[in-house]
Amino acid sequence: MKRLPSLLFSLAGTALLFTGCATTLPQPLHMTAGFQPESMDAVYILPVVDARADKKLSLNLDRLQHNMADSLKQKRYQVVVLTDSKLVAGITDEDLKDPSTDWVKTIGPSESRWVMALAVGELSRKLTFGSTGNAEVNLFIFDKQTGTVVWEDKGLGRAGQGGLLGMMMVGMMDEAAIEEAMNQVMFKFPKRQKGT
């Protein structure tokens, strides 16, 4: 009988441990009250905005856009990938962070409601005895119906490799840093339930 209380405490502790481990996604920097990403019927993804001040390092924007679309598809979102670079010509990071209602209502195709934009704010590298890539991306979701930004977040990525191998893989470190930054923001999207 003396073992019963200790067994009950063990079971209660295990139950608390599993309750504490319930999956709650981290929140973005900004999300409009009442907005539920799962409710988006179709997400129109603009071409990636290259908002870097220094554009010397090459960047595969198309691949980044398609990786973002694949991430959303895995979470059961319906996506439409927009490939016309004219849609983002002249857009800066500041335009995305503080847009006017009228501007938001004009982005993307006329039939779209939810428009997503990813902006690369920084991509830099450091080459010593090895290499390190650093990246910053900003993600925005616009609701054209209300003319507002309903979701805004930032991801920071860093990737490195030491030694001669790292020096030879410098371009790969840049790509890995960008991918890490993008994955940080995409991770926060909840997975849609089947049939929604």
For 75-84, what is each residue's pLDDT tens digit? 999 999 999 9
Map residue 125 onto helix, strand or coil: strand
State how far Cα 166 lies from the chain centre.
26
Residue 172: the pLDDT is: 59
Q: Is the dihedral of CA 85, 88, 90, 93 positive or negative?
A: negative
Q: How far apart are CA 59 and CA 53, in angstroms?
A: 13
- pLDDT, one tens digit per residue, over 150-179 is 999 998 877 765 555 444 445 555 677 878
Exposure of 22 in the CB half-sphere (CA atoms within 13 A): 5
- pLDDT, one tens digit per residue, over 37-67 is 998 989 999 999 988 777 777 778 888 899 9
Domain 26-186 has CATH 3.40.50.1170: no
> Using only C-alpha atoms, what is the Rg of the chain?
21
The structural domains of the chain, with segments of one domain joined by +, span 26-186
Q: pLDDT above 70 covers what percent of the chain?
A: 75
